[in-house]
Amino acid sequence: MTEPLMATYKRLPVAFARGEGVWLWDTEGRRYLDALSGIAVCGLGHAHPAVRDALCEQAGLLVHTSNLYRITEQERLGAMLTEMSGMDRVFFGNSGAEANEAAIKIARLHAHRRGVENPAILVAENSFHGRTLATLSATGNRKVQAGFEPLVQGFVRVPYDDVEAIETAAANRSNIVAVLVEPIQGEGGIRIPAPDYGQRLRELCDRHGWLLICDEIQTGMGRTGRWFGHEHGGAAPDVVTLAKGLANGVPIGACLARGAAAEVFGPGAHGSTFGGNPLVCRAARAVLETIVAEDLIANAAEQGTYLLEGFRTALSDVPGVVEVRGQGLMLGIELDRPCADLVVQALEAGLLINVTADRVIRLLPPLILARAEADRLLVGLTALVKRWLSDA
């Protein structure tokens, strides 16, 4: 039989049949602790009753109408998001890539209306902003760009967490109009910038009249122990993009903007057929309400600190462990060698993890993670890392 799916993923030899909380069961009935949550998507875990009930109720009422009409659920979700983020307006798409595409278009249109020709956006090395052609071009990873040239022009790349490099770029180019940056680099290896990075970026953007765009696709919705990752740095961006954790697995992306950036788009400037339909907006509203009701942001901060300290203690004297770092429930364990094999070994041990940047174990467990589950992750992964390093 011909394989029906395009070979865009290197899949692991497992298929899941159901989930509950932080646990998944495969088609053979074996249970796994999900420390990846669909890559930061299922913050409420699997089959959360609030999301299930919201989806069932909304599916029985109305799934989709065109954005040619008012959508009440979209307006409700938009009001919640703008209030909690301090932004003025929101555009809804279907994914993080769509959210970042909207942000890039806002920056360009804003620049053109100010008379800037060939506007350029500063982006960071080792960043990840998506796989559409524009977001792929903005991404600072040559591996994901290779073979797709010519890339979209208009991006200037500088090292992450290096404000002096941005100053140099600004001194040599007059067409820079915005900075697009992740508060913490996820795909780049859980890279956490200096505490004053965000404020220094804000000062630079204010001085030059640039927009500050924060890609919160992975860091948003409580993942880092705050609603948004940029809050740790205390600098308010002009544009924020969201997706992964916003609707707990129902496809959605959101681009929020404030001030002049919020007034850039008018009718016809941008759009999305499915973006912000009643079903997904009702699911996202249920997620936001549950995060508040169950105090999950505080739990992410508490369990994240517990895991960070636990892994640092357990792995401090282990040869081959370079660093343990993280913020909230966004954690990375960097080894001194490529460690993709660990993902398969963890799977065999009943643990779902991920490796990024070749040698960083990435942990993104659900925000509902309880202490006993954190202990299970801590003990199980520590033993696995020690054994793998001793055998490697």
Catalytic position from the list 91, 244, 265, 311:
244
CA proximity to 242, closest of 54, 53, 9, 78: 78
Which tokens sit at 307? 């895991």
3-state secondary structure of 328: coil
Is 244 assigned a catalytic role?
yes
Tell me, yes or no, if 238 is annotated catalytic: no
Sheet holding 360-363, edge to edge: 321-327, 330-335, 360-363, 354-356
Catalytic member of 91, 92, 128, 265:
128
Q: Which of 89, 64, 66 is nearest to 78 (CA)?
A: 89
Contacts for 333 with CB less than 8 Å, ≥ 6 apart: 311, 315, 321, 323, 324, 360, 361, 363, 381, 385
Catalytic residue among 215, 228, 265, 311: 215
Q: Tell me the CA distances in angstroms from 110 to 90, 115, 117, 128, 337, one per residue in order.
A: 16, 9, 11, 23, 44
Helices 278-293/296-315 angle, 10° precision: 70
**Catalytic center residues:** 128, 215, 244
